[in-house]
Amino acid sequence: MAYIIEIYQTMYHFVSLTCTTATNTTVVSSPPIFSFTTVATRYLLNSSHRIFFYLTSRGGFFSFYNDPRQLYLSSASPEFFLCSIRFTSDHSVAKSYVDEETGYVPVICVIARCKHEDIEAAWEALKYAKRPRIFLFICTSDIHMKYKLKKTKEEVIEMAKSSIRFAKRIGFSDIQFGCEDGGRSEKDFLCNIMGEAIKEGVTTVTLADTVGNNIPQEFGEMVAYLKANTPGIDDVVFSLHCHNDLGLATANTISGVCAGARQVEVTINGIGERSGNASLEEVVLALKCRGAYVMDGVYTRIDTRHIMATSKMVQEYTGLYVQPHKPIVGANCFVHESGIHQDGMLKYPSTYEIFSPEDIGVEKSQDFGIVLGKLSGRHAVKDRLRKLGYEISDEKFNDIFSRFRELTKQKKRITDADLNALVAYGDKISSEKLTCNGNSSSLVPTPQISSVV
């Protein structure tokens, strides 16, 4: 059976990613304690659906936003974003937020500790919202219960139950319950506390690998165990929240999805506290490329063509720029310099690209991705000369390619201007004269040559 993973395609710039069974989501920034996430949630409690819980707003709060209380969400593309909101300390924004184009009223979610004062503050913030949600969490690992909460397991369960009851009593009907540091918790205790939370009426339960301690096989087995042994688990949404301390957040998330999780909590560019969270773009593309083959048909309806623009906006808002080799959105993702790779790309792009630049909204130029340098082979250089308008004999090309190789010893990237100079002046100049400032040749203007024999 094909599964649908709906991603909270909310925002391109904060770290609170709430992914649920919806097509669109917009994240709103939060005041110091809570994080607000507007989620266009259409509850599809059918087990064949998957959900994305987008956390970029909350996680981003820990990633140095310039002003955590005044963040803007742009609706640059209706297919990816719901609308625009400016959120300040005026929590009444919750009562008026509606997508003007569709009339859809999103869920607005607030995260809170299992403390009555937090829950009351959350209700004050959301009591005018048409679809409010509270995300209650409590730590469940031995180390957290002993040293942070200083509570026994029985006391922690009672705190959770009491908080859920209180949240329902003051007005919340949509309640998500999360197990902080669940990745280091005893599995049977997780089954127990999640089961009790479900009995109290929560709609979603979350397993959090808060410190990024798990590895994919281990995490997938834990999800499968909880799914098989928690009373009432099939009546609620099972969610995942993975951190990236070991570089495994995306892998753990995918492993959890394969084991039956229906909601994943992710962030744009993977930003978040410490080493970050599972990356939205990585999870989405993993599902797009492999979901139909190795994940029982899991997929997402997210319009991936807006991923690059979203990623760049998050970078601008946060000041956290991704490394060039960052999967999906890094500057080098579609750069090919090896001669063997270039040869394959020129013959058939899919030989070395499992998704195209256009899939994530990058326009591809005539020679996109082919970078000429010391590793480039004859095929790539000759193809580039042809695209520049030259028809060159094999003998002449041998000479040009020889001087091309000499030039690569002096500069990392060879530009079109360099190639024009090599063709125009041949052996009248030495390769030393082709040295340049920066990345462009310092030679005379490009000659108008159509063929060289």
Domain chopping of the chain, boundaries = 4-318, 339-452
Pick the range with the lowest mean pLDDT from 358-367, 370-379, 426-435: 426-435
For 198, the enclosing helix (H) or strand (E) is helix 187-200
**What confidence tier does 35 reach under pLDDT thresholds 50, 70, 90?**
very low
Report how far residue 415's alpha carbon sits from residue 367's, in angstroms, rounded to the nearest whole number: 12
Strand partners, 265: 53, 241
The residue ranges of DSSP E strands in 201-319, in sequence order, are 204-209, 237-242, 263-266
Name the pTM for this structure.
Answer: 0.72
Q: What pLDDT digit, counting tens, does each position of 68-91 carry?
A: 333 333 333 333 433 222 333 344
First vs last C-alpha separation in the chain = 61
The answer, yes or no, to whether residue 165 has pLDDT greater than 50, is yes
- Assess whether pLDDT exceeds 70 at residue 130: yes
The CATH architecture one would assign to domain 4-318 is Alpha-Beta Barrel (3.20)
- Higher pLDDT among residues 27 and 91, named by residue: 91
Q: Which residue has the higher pLDDT, 4 or 95?
A: 95
The pair of structure tokens assigned to 175 is: 């309640």
Q: Lowest-pLDDT range, 11-15, 57-61, 426-430?
A: 11-15
The rounded distance, in Å, linking the Cα atoms of 149 and 159 is 11
Which position has the higher pLDDT, 313 or 25? 313
pLDDT at 438: 41
The answer to whether residue 48 scores a pLDDT higher than 90 is: no
Coil, helix or strand for 439?
Answer: coil
pLDDT at 159: 98
Q: pLDDT higher for 297 or 42?
A: 297
